[in-house]
Amino acid sequence: MAQRAAGTLLANFGRSLAFEEKPNLDEVSCVTHLLVRKLQNFIALSEDEQQAILSLPAGSKRLRGRQMIADDKSLKGAICLIEEGFACRHRTLPDGRRQILSFLVPGDLSDLRVFILGRTDSAVSTLSDVSVSVITPEHLLALTERYPRITRALWWSTLVEESITQEWLVNIGQRSALERMAHLLCELYVRLSAVAQVDVYTFDLPITQSELADTLGLSSVHVNRTLQELRRRELIVFRDHVMELKDVAELKKIAMFSPGYLHLRSVPSFDPAQKATPQTGGR
């Protein structure tokens, strides 16, 4: 079902981890580093605190596309840090209607909710092939008990997620289809830039039009119409699950996008003239 997604995911961006390699220590610390970087958006972590996170025992694990993460026995109760690929949280009504609640991109944690709430309200599924670092709740618990500032930083990260969910509510509740789509693209542009997954306004978007529909509260037919309209206006090029934004400034304007709600320290350029070279970090 997701073979194409996998293909295109790998085809692009040389900086991706090769999917076939065995995980090794470098890789692992490389990835929990994503978490450190993210939390540093909130507070500067001490050397000690950074070490504590970097040395979290986190096994790496690969998952195929369109698969419920919770289905995987070895992930029971575990917290997954996305290294590579797209996942999403979603809820389904008894009659089958489904709403995607958030996208998980590299650097995001799959579910602190389970960790704190004790159970989960929403399923987490992969969209593309995904590789994750698996952190056990025990280790996370130990970490938070020992380092209150890390607890606070994790709390912060869940609040940022809520801020994004709220913006999606504004999006679906108030914006038209075209505005919604433009807004989602701007958001992805900014979030993926922050984790070095954007190259010259271009990023992998390994999802289906009907998944976009479930995200935006539209029908898949209308998602198609909307994408056509964006193409007609020469704002995007979207082929083989690769999205290129031809005019971010215009998209931003249409969407009335303002990135504050993402709570990132630095935001990539929306200037149509120059190339997108946001944060210099990266692997």
For DNA, the binding residue among 12, 151, 209, 269 (CB under 7 A) is: 209
Question: Per rule CB under 7 A, is residue 12 in the interface with DNA?
Answer: no
The answer to whether residues 205 and 242 touch, using CB atoms and an 8 Å cutoff, is yes
In the DSSP assignment, the letter for residue 234 is T
Question: Per rule CB under 7 A, is residue 172 in the interface with DNA?
Answer: no
Q: H-helix or E-strand containing 236? A: strand 236-239
The rounded distance, in Å, linking the Cα atoms of 80 and 132 is 6
The answer to whether residues 172 and 165 touch, using CB atoms and an 8 Å cutoff, is no
Q: How many CB atoms lie within 10 A of CB 189?
A: 27
Question: Per rule CB under 8 A, is residue 267 in the interface with a copy of itself?
Answer: no
Residue (14 or 94) nearer to a copy of itself, CB: 94
Closest CA to 106 of 122, 123, 127, 120: 127
Main-chain dihedrals φ then ψ at residue 147, nearest 5 degrees: -120, 90
Residue (79 or 230) nearer to DNA, CB: 230
Residue (117 or 221) nearer to a copy of itself, CB: 117
Question: Per rule CB under 7 A, is residue 92 in the interface with DNA?
Answer: no
For DNA, the binding residue among 116, 170, 200, 221 (CB under 7 A) is: 221
For DNA, the binding residue among 41, 158, 219, 269 (CB under 7 A) is: 219
The residue to which tokens 């025992």 are assigned: 57
Least CB distance to a copy of itself at residue 166 (A): 5
Question: Per rule CB under 8 A, is residue 240 in the interface with a copy of itself?
Answer: no
For DNA, the binding residue among 29, 152, 156, 217 (CB under 7 A) is: 217
Task: Retrieve residue 137's tokens.
Answer: 């709740």
Question: Per rule CB under 8 A, is residue 46 in the interface with a copy of itself?
Answer: no
Question: Per rule CB under 8 A, is residue 121 in the interface with a copy of itself?
Answer: yes
Q: Please state, in angstroms and as integers, the Cα–Cα distance from residue 128 to each residue in 1, 150, 205, following that order.
A: 10, 30, 9
Stretch that binds DNA, among 28-36, 163-171, 176-184, 257-265 (CB under 7 A): 176-184
222 binds, among a copy of itself, DNA, none (CB under 5 to 8 A by kind): DNA
- At CB < 8 A and 24+ separation, what contacts does 272-276 make? 272/247, 272/248, 275/200, 275/201, 276/189, 276/193, 276/198, 276/199, 276/200, 276/201, 276/248
Stretch that binds a copy of itself, among 12-20, 163-171, 232-240, 275-283 (CB under 8 A): 163-171
Least CB distance to DNA at residue 106 (A): 22
The rounded distance, in Å, linking the Cα atoms of 155 and 149 is 10
For DNA, the binding residue among 52, 54, 123, 177 (CB under 7 A) is: 177
The rounded distance, in Å, linking the Cα atoms of 92 and 197 is 29
Least CB distance to a copy of itself at residue 215 (A): 8
139 binds, among a copy of itself, DNA, none (CB under 5 to 8 A by kind): none
Question: Per rule CB under 8 A, is residue 66 in the interface with a copy of itself?
Answer: no
Contacts with DNA, residue ranges (CB under 7 A): 1, 3-4, 7, 176-178, 208-210, 217-222, 224-225, 227-228
